[in-house]
Structure 1
Amino acid sequence: MIAYLILVHRFPDQFKRMFRAIHVPGNHYLIHVDQRSGPAMKADIAAFLKPYVNVAMLPSRKMLWGGYSLVDAELRGMAMLLKMNADWRYFINLSGQDFPLKSQAYIADFLASHDGAQFIRAVPQQAVRPDTMNRLSHYFLEIFNRIVRTGIARRPMAAVTPYIGTQWKAVTRDFCAFACHNPAARRFKQFYRRTLIADEGFFQTLMMNAFADTRIVNDDLRTIDWIPDGDIKLRPRTFVTRDALRLTLSPDLFARKFDAEEDSHILDLLEAHLLTPAAQTLPAPGSVHATMLQASGRIISPA
């Protein structure tokens, strides 16, 4: 059983399409609509979700790219999902502009075959991405709908190696409970609350430094095409129809991002793909597809 947290801030009709593609009665779904999207969008999505089982809305708060508010939404979502049901095994976070590349049966079988593994991109930040260490070296504030760099230097966390990756993950219930409720996680929350783009480092650093005896696969199970974008440096390219072959052959479980206003046909193609055997059934051991899956992640050890 899987627990999904979906963060939505625009394109409600596209979200609905994605939700239909991932909903099955056995899973649990929690939806957060950015408060800045307005009450009309929230009401529209709430009305859409009403007929579905095992679905709830997370109380809306303002979300800001680069701010700790994204981490806060995930922690609140994890905590609410833990209360909603005691049986789910894996937590997966999505945005409203994601789309599945595999069926829910395939995803459930994949996670069961790797039970206990944490799927999250995590590399040592100083060694691999030293250009991002400025996110931690000074205090940042999330105020007035923007991120403010204070210029006030801060000390690093004692005896902690910072890690970095992406926001996206498929992690176990045990890790969610640890992140939400274990006292050992408190100082990580306090530190990352005043950093920049905390959602790409908080969970990785907490897991690699404080969550012992777990298998970590350096893979977020997403197909994402990162491209340069000015000061942001990298952003996910929007997939379109010409990407269909790449996406349908991908061993990943999800892809991002999509914009139905730019190209809705790619979603038509992916919806049809989800009905094919390749998207429905986990490949047999030794097959070419199984080999691709095995090669897609790298086991790494905590610091």
Structure 2
Amino acid sequence: MKQAILITAYKNFDHLIDIVTFFDNDFELFIHIDKKIKVEKRIIDKIKNIDNVKFLSREYSINWGGLNHLKAYLLLAKAALKNQENKYFHLISGQDFPVKDLSYFKNILNAPKLYDHLEFFEIPSSIWKNQNGGLDRLEYYNFFDLIDAKKHIKWLWRLVRIQKKLHLKRRVSERIGKLYGGFTWWSLTRDTLQYVIDYTKEKPYLIHRMKHTFCSEEMYFQTIIMNSDFSKNVVNDNLRYIDWDPDRVGKDSPSPALLDMTDYEKINTSNKLFARKFDTPISDKLKSLIQKQDSTKNI
């Protein structure tokens, strides 16, 4: 039995290689690199030539908040499910890093029962209070695939406000079921992930309806899984250490804190499998200490 690591990346490719090489051949790696990012051929070749990298795609050009991010996840999931040996699937970004040693990851498959680890909450939720509980994501056109939010985020929010003033609202069909949201990253069992892929093929209404929503990847998996029998297997914990402290990142920040040495003890005493976000040079000392600790444990 194996585990699959699904990664979407767009920067810091030396860090991406460190993620990949942390895992041995008991794991398979499936990677999507943003199509619009210029990457040297030697880097792509270096990643492809690592033994446990089974799939590397540049299928989609990804704008933050746009639908193509979700499409990239589904692409990676379908590729990873082709190998029947893959029993557990972890979705991370290229700015994450494993914070348990390799033996800890391997022991996951020795548990009497495998659970799905996915953060979820019902929409509307106070967690997304600045977006009408999350309903603004679906009830208005959000043109993140067409407009680069990193350059024009104020215009994107302004377009939503204009729609509200004009009383233009998109219908949310009862066909979707109860709406759920949660942060993107998850660790899922084979049966649950296969159910999401089958649902996408057999009931394409939801994936089509996610066009021109905001951050559909933060609703899609949650809504499908929590409206199914697989909800009984879900633990509401995505096993990711992420710091959203407003004193650190600012009020209503769209991105979590970049991790540094102040996070080490909290990471080390947590039950989390991965932490994010790592970035150079802020996270270098923290990452080095985690790597040193993991290599010592794996001797």
Tell me if both proteins adopt one fold, taking TM over 0.5 as the criterion.
yes
Q: Comparing both structures, which one devotes a greater share of its residues to strand?
A: 1
- Work out the CA distance in 2 between the residues paired with 1:39 and 1:258: 20
Q: Which residue of 2 aligns with 1:30?
A: 30
- 1:194-214 CA-partner distances (Å, limit 9, x unpaired): 311111111101111145464
- Which residue in 1 is equivalent to 2:136? 134
Preserved contact between residue 20 and residue 29 of structure 2 (Cα < 8 Å):
no
1:76 to 2:75 alignment? yes
Alignment partner for residue 90 of structure 1, among 88, 92, 99? 88
Which residue does 1:50 correspond to in 2?
49
In 1: Cα distance, 2:60 partner to 2:11 partner: 14
Measured after TM superposition, the shift of residue 230 of structure 1 is: 6.3
C-alpha deviation, 1:43, in angstroms: 4.5
How far the C-alpha of 1:66 sits from its partner, in A, is 0.8
Tell me the equivalent position of 2:173: 157
Q: Could you say which residue in structure 2 is the equivalent of 1:107?
A: 105
Letter in 2 for 1:258: F
Provide the rounded CA distance (Å) in 1 between the counterparts of 2:109 and 2:180.
24
State the 1:45 CA deviation.
Answer: 3.2
Please give the per-residue CA displacement for 1:145-169, whole angstroms capped at 9, x wherever unaligned.
4585563411112051111110100
Match of 1:198 in 2: 216
Counterpart Cα distance in 2 of 1:158 and 1:52: 46
The answer (yes or no) to whether the contact 2:99–2:290 under 8 Å persists in 1 is: yes
Sort the Cα spacing of 1:39 and 1:54 in 2 relative to 1 into closer, same or farther, 3 A: closer
TM-score, structure 1 normalization: 0.82
Alpha-carbon displacement from aligned partner over 1:21-42 (angstroms, at most 9, x marks no partner): 2x210211111111121142x6
Distance 1:195 1:211, change over 3 A: farther
Q: C-alpha offsets along residues 244-279 of structure 1, whole Å, 9 cap, x if unaligned?
A: 2222222111111111222411111000121355xx
Aligned counterparts of 1:104 and 1:188: Cα–Cα separation in 2:
37
Secondary structure, in 3 states, of the residue corresponding to 1:188? helix
Q: How far apart, in 2, do the equivalents of 1:62 and 1:227 lie?
A: 30
Q: 1:132: how far off?
A: 2.0
Separation of aligned partners in 1, 2:232 and 2:72: 24
RMSD across aligned positions (CA): 2.4
Between 116-125 and 105-114, report the one with greater CA deviation: 105-114
Give deviations 1:228-251, integer Å, cap 9, x for gaps: 456853421111123222222221
Q: Tell me what 1:188 maps to.
A: 206
Match of 2:117 in 1: 119
Q: Structure 1, residues 76-102: CA drift from partner, whole Å, max 9, x if none?
A: 11111122x111111111111111111
Q: Output the CA distance in 2 between the equivalents of 1:257 and 1:114.
A: 32
Secondary structure, counterpart of 1:126 in structure 2: coil
What amino acid maps onto 2:11 in structure 1?
Answer: R
For 1:114 and 1:188, the matched residues in 2 are separated by 34
Structure 2 stretches of 5 or more lacking a match?
A: none
* 1:286 equivalent in structure 2: none
Change (3 A) 1:214 1:114: farther
1:208 aligns with 2:226: yes
Q: C-alpha separation between the residues in 1 aligned to 2:11 and 2:53?
A: 23
Does the 8 A contact of 1:170 with 1:220 survive in 2? yes
For residues 226 and 210 of structure 1, the distance between their equivalents in structure 2, rounded to whole angstroms, comes to 30
The residue that corresponds to 2:188 in the other structure is 171
- In the alignment, the residues of structure 2 paired with residue 261 and residue 60 of structure 1 have an alpha-carbon distance, to the nearest angstrom, of 30
- CA displacement at 1:184 relative to structure 2: 4.9
Once the 2 structures are TM-superposed, how far is the Cα of residue 60 of structure 1 from its aligned partner?
3.3
Most deviating of 189-198 and 251-260:
189-198
Q: How many pairs are equivalent?
A: 276
Q: TM-score, normalised by structure 2?
A: 0.83
Alignment of 1:259-278 (within 5 A): 259-277=279-297
Do 2:125 and 2:134's aligned partners in 1 also have CA atoms closer than 8 Å?
no
Task: Confirm or deny that 1:251 pairs with 2:271.
Answer: yes
CA distance in 2, matches of 1:197, 1:61: 15
